[in-house]
Amino acid sequence: QVRLVESGGGLVQTGGSLRLSCAASGITFNIYALDWHRQAPGRERELVATITSDGTTDYADSVKGRFTISRDNAKNTVSLQMNSLKPEDTAVYYCKAYRSWGEYWGQGTRVTVSS
């Protein structure tokens, strides 16, 4: 059974930091690309950050310089370090593992940034 479980969300003030984690099981983790997405109420889900199976990263313009995605293949986890948080970052954050032939999603973790 494939499972992706996010953790680390919560309430922070503007300018604060959070570290999100996603633990995977049931997949050969090291061969999957991984994303973090986020979705605010009434808005479309948007891609925040990507890390490929070989460690190449990419970020949405809105989070460049503030967020860092990383993976630990030995622990089957992907993390998102979020610094200098803004109210606009408030959303449910989801991790995704994918290959060309399929994808898996976690249940999401909530991040709220107060102004």
Q: Give the burial class of 41: count Cβ atoms within 10 A of its Cβ; 0-12 exposed, 13-18 middle, 19 or more buried.
A: exposed
pLDDT tens, position by position, 30-64: 999 999 999 999 999 999 999 999 999 999 999 99
Q: Predicted confidence band at 13 (pLDDT cuts at 50, 70, 90)? A: very high
Specify whether the CB–CB gap between 104 and 7 falls below 8 A.
no
pLDDT at 17: 98
Separation of alpha carbons 26 and 77, rounded Å:
12
Nearest to 70 by CA among 90, 87, 51: 51
Q: Give the burial class of 70: count Cβ atoms within 10 A of its Cβ; 0-12 exposed, 13-18 middle, 19 or more buried.
A: middle
pLDDT tens, position by position, 89-115: 999 999 999 999 999 999 999 999 998
pLDDT at 89: 97
Separation of alpha carbons 69 and 19, rounded Å:
10
What are the residues facing 110 on neighbouring strands?
A: 92
pLDDT tens, position by position, 79-91: 999 999 999 999 9
Q: Predicted confidence band at 67 (pLDDT cuts at 50, 70, 90)? A: very high
pLDDT at 95: 98
Residue 47 structure tokens: 């891609």
pLDDT at 57: 98
